[in-house]
Amino acid sequence: MTQTYHVKSFGCQMNVYDGERMAELMEAEGMTASDKADADLVILNTCHIRERAAEKVYSEIGRLRREDGSTPMIAVAGCVAQAEGTEIARRAPSVDVVVGPQAYHRLPELLREAKGGKKALDTGMPAASKFAALPKRGVQTRPTAFLTVQEGCDKFCTYCVVPYTRGAEISRPWGALIDEAKALIDGGAREITLLGQNVNAWEAVDDKGRAQGLDGLIRALAELPGLARIRYTTSHPGDMSESLIAAHGEVEALMPFLHLPVQSGSDRILKAMNRSHTAASYLKLLDRVRAVRPDIALSGDFIVGFPGETDRDFEDTLTLVRATRYAQAYSFKYSPRPGTPAAEMADQIPPEIMDERLQRLQAALNADQHAFNRASVGRRCDILLERKGRKARQLVGKSPWLQSVHVDVDGAAIGDLLTVDLVDAGPNSLAGEPAMRKAA
C-alpha cells in the first residue's frame, strides 16, 4: 500500500517554498499527498518568529492523536525545530523526526532511521548542500511560483531569531536558479517571486564569470520565454543597490511593488534594533525608487512596543507612515524571543500599551491601503488570473501592484493575463471589468 504524507507550513513564504520541496521529496520516495486527518506521515513545518510559536506546535502535535489513541508518524521541521532541537522529542514523545531548515533534504534518511525505532534529529546548518541534494522541481500547475534564491541572515536585528534559525547569509548559484526557473515555467508558472530572508543581498557569478547582484538575476530571468512577471521579497533597506533601483525603471517584467520593512520611524529605536537605516535614509531610499517607478506600490513591516519605545517614538512611526502612504503593510506587537539581545533589555513595554499602539498603527495603515486601492480605480492593467472566485464566472487575479482583483469573465482561464479596467475598490480587493468589453 502506498504511504501518504501531509505537509503543514507555518510562517513566511520561504517556509511555503520549503514545504513544497519537502512534498516533492516525499513524492520522489513514492508517497502520495493526503489530508492531515489520515496521512501516515505529518510534517509540521514550523515558524519561530513571534509569540509562543513553539507552544502552538506542541498543541498541533497533540491534535494529531487519533480517536483510537494512535498517531501518524510526525516530523517537526522549520525554525522551531532548529531552535528547540531535541527538546521537542523530549516534550512530545510522539514526534519521530526533528529536522532544521537547512537539513530537510535528509528527511527520507531520517524517516528510515525513525522507522527503525529511534528518534532522528538533524539541525545541521550547511544550506548550500541542501539545494544540491534536493530532487529536481516536479510538475506544478499554478501560474505563480516561489523560488528561494537566498537564505539566512547576517543582520542580527536585536529582536529577531532568523539569524539563529536559518544561519548565515548564502546565495544560491546562478546556474541552479536559471535551471529551476525554467523548470517552474515549464510547469506552468507565469510569475516567479524570488525569495530570501534578505533577498536583495543575493550575489553570485553568472555563466560568463561576471559578478551579479539581484538586478542581474532579474534581468536574466526577464529574458526567459513564458515568464511574464517577476517579484522579490523580503528586502533589507541596507542592501538596496542603485542597480536594483534602476531595474525597477527598466525591466518590464519586474512588477511595481516593493516590500521594504522599516520596523520603526524612531531613530533611537532603530538604533536599539540594530537596523542600519534611519527614518530619513529610509524615506530617501523610497524617493529614489519612486523617481524611477512613480506608480510603485510600497509595503513594509512594523514592530510596536520594542523595549524602551516611548509615546514620542511611536508618534515618529505614525509620522513615517503618513509620509510614505503604504499600499499595504504588516504590523506586529514586539515579542521577546529567547536568546535575542532585545529580550534582555530593560523597559519592556506593557501589553496594554502595545495593544493600543498596534490598533492606532493598523488603523492608519488600513486607511492608506484603502486609499491606495481607491486611487487605482480608473486604471487599466493586466491581472494574472490565479483562482476561481465565489460566484459563477468570477475569477480572481493580481494586479501589478499585488492587489486582488475580482472579475466576471467568460473565455478566460487561470494562468491567463487579462487586461481589465479597475472599476471599484474595497479595503482588501478591487473589482475589474475585461477591457475588451468597453470597446464592444
Point out which residues bind ligand SF4 (CB under 6 A): 153, 155-157, 160, 162-163, 197-198, 236
| φ/ψ bin of 69: left (φ > 0), alpha (ψ from -120 to 50), beta (otherwise) | left
φ and ψ at 206, to 5 degrees? -80, -175
Strand-pairing partners, residue 432, are 407, 422
Integer-rounded Cα Rg, in Å, for the chain is 23
11 lies in the binding site for ligand F3S (CB under 6 A): yes
Partner whose binding site includes residue 163, from ligand SAH, ligand F3S, ligand SF4, none (CB under 5 to 8 Å by kind): ligand SF4
Residue whose beta carbon is closest to ligand F3S: 11
Partner whose binding site includes residue 335, from ligand F3S, ligand SF4, ligand SAH, none (CB under 5 to 8 Å by kind): ligand SAH
H helix or E strand, kind and range, residue 354: helix 351-376
Pairing, β 229-233 against β 191-195? parallel
Strand-pairing partners, residue 7, are 43
Partner whose binding site includes residue 337, from ligand SF4, ligand SAH, ligand F3S, none (CB under 5 to 8 Å by kind): ligand SAH
Contact by Cβ (8 Å): 261, 224:
no
Provide CB contacts within 8 A for 237, sequence distance 6+. Answer: 260, 261, 262, 275, 276, 277, 281, 282, 285
Q: Quick check: helix, strand or coil at residue 149?
A: coil
Q: Which is nearer to ligand SF4, 105 or 337 (CB)?
A: 337
Distance in Å, CB of 348 to ligand SAH, minimum: 12
Q: Quick check: helix, strand or coil at residue 20?
A: helix
Of 176, 198, 18, the closest CA to residue 99 belongs to 18
Name the grid cell of 112: 528510515
Q: Which is nearer to ligand SAH, 144 or 165 (CB)?
A: 165
**Residues in 197-236 at the binding interface with ligand F3S, rule: CB under 6 A:** 197
How many Å apart are CA 133 and CA 49, to the nearest integer? 27
Q: Which is nearer to ligand SAH, 300 or 434 (CB)?
A: 300
Distance in Å, CB of 151 to ligand SAH, minimum: 11
According to DSSP, residue 263 is labeled B
50 lies in the binding site for ligand SAH (CB under 6 A): yes
Angle at 176 between CA 172 and CA 178, to 5 degrees: 110
308-316, 331-339, 419-427, 429-437 -> range binding ligand SAH (CB under 6 A): 331-339
**Residues in 154-183 at the binding interface with ligand F3S, rule: CB under 6 A:** 161-162, 165-166
Q: Which is nearer to ligand SF4, 73 or 201 (CB)?
A: 201
Q: Please count the residues of this chain forming the interface with ligand F3S, following the rule CB under 6 A.
A: 14
Partner whose binding site includes residue 11, from ligand F3S, ligand SAH, ligand SF4, none (CB under 5 to 8 Å by kind): ligand F3S
Distance in Å, CB of 84 to ligand F3S, minimum: 12
**Contact residues for ligand SAH, defined by CB under 6 A:** 49-50, 159-160, 162, 197-198, 234, 236, 261, 263, 301, 303, 332, 334-335, 337
